[in-house]
Amino acid sequence: MGLPLRAAGCAEAQLSLRLASYVPLSQDELSILGEITSTTRAVRRRQDIVTEGKQYRALFLVLDGILMRYRILRDGRRQIVNLVVPGDFAGVPGCLFDGALYSIKALTDAEVATVPLPRVLALFETHPRLAAKIFWSFSCEAAVYAEHLIVVGRRTALERVAHFLLELLTRLQVIGLADDCSYRIPLSQEIIGDALGLSLPYVNRVLRQLAEDGLVTVKEQKVIINDVDGLSALADFERGYLTPLSIAEFIEGAR
């Protein structure tokens, strides 16, 4: 059984929560989104929905569960690019290339809606505002990837783990899956290490230090951040890269 990670009961509600802060959807757009995401399927824990190198011409809107985007190197090492949470689209940008750039695996039992790429592209002719809002959300991921590059390339092990846990808190709060300081997620030390380029002993040591300092408690798949401000100061965490301007603000500022 998967963890109870569903924040709402339908695809359009999930995406509405995800986008509400910067690309709110009208009732008409919600209805259209519901139509194009009506084909759903269950995904078992540890099952891939995208395999690196294979061709895909569809997007996957995550309705329930947690997935990871990753790549396996030639020597068997794994790099986790990011975690995919309810309300996120998976399969971008891989569907725009001859072969997927990364694999995507379910960390819990999950449910996804399959959206054929031609249906999304057709929105530019039939409902251009909705199409723009969807692709706006894709472009915002670039800021997240850039931040991850800085995290892995320049931060200490302690800062990396702290930043990673705070980013998840912020993302899960947006979709109603976290309170002010805690959330449930299947985070093993191996997953943290593969996401941050750290060895298991390093991850273990950092989590132990964060716990001893009274900043973070990770127990039975529950993350409790005991001092959000203190952890944010330690990691130099600024959530601005997770909260882009709304389309309306962008248009207003360009005038």
Span 197-231, pLDDT tens digits: 999 999 999 999 999 999 999 988 899 999 999 99
pLDDT at 36: 86
Identify whether residues 89 and 160 lie together within a single domain: no
Domain count across the chain: 2
pLDDT at 164: 98
pLDDT at 23: 67
pLDDT digits (tens, 9 = 90+) for 6-44: 444 455 565 666 665 566 778 888 888 888 888 899 999
pTM value > 0.85: yes
Q: What residues of the chain score a pLDDT lower than 70?
A: 1-23, 245-255
CATH number, domain with residue 23: 2.60.120.10
pLDDT at 57: 87
Using only C-alpha atoms, the chain has a radius of gyration, in whole angstroms, of 18
pLDDT at 4: 38
pLDDT at 242: 87
Identify whether residues 175 and 118 lie together within a single domain: no
Identify whether residues 53 and 34 lie together within a single domain: yes
pLDDT at 192: 97
Tokens, residue 21 = 């802060």
Give the integer Cα–Cα distance in Å for 117 and 55.
Answer: 12
pLDDT at 7: 41
pLDDT at 197: 96
Classify residue 3: in a domain, yes or no.
Answer: no
CATH number, domain with residue 159: 1.10.10.10
pLDDT at 138: 78
Q: In what order do the strands lie in the sheet with 216-219?
A: 182-184, 222-225, 216-219
Give the integer Cα–Cα distance in Å for 247 and 25.
Answer: 11
Provide the residue range defining the domain that includes 207: 155-242
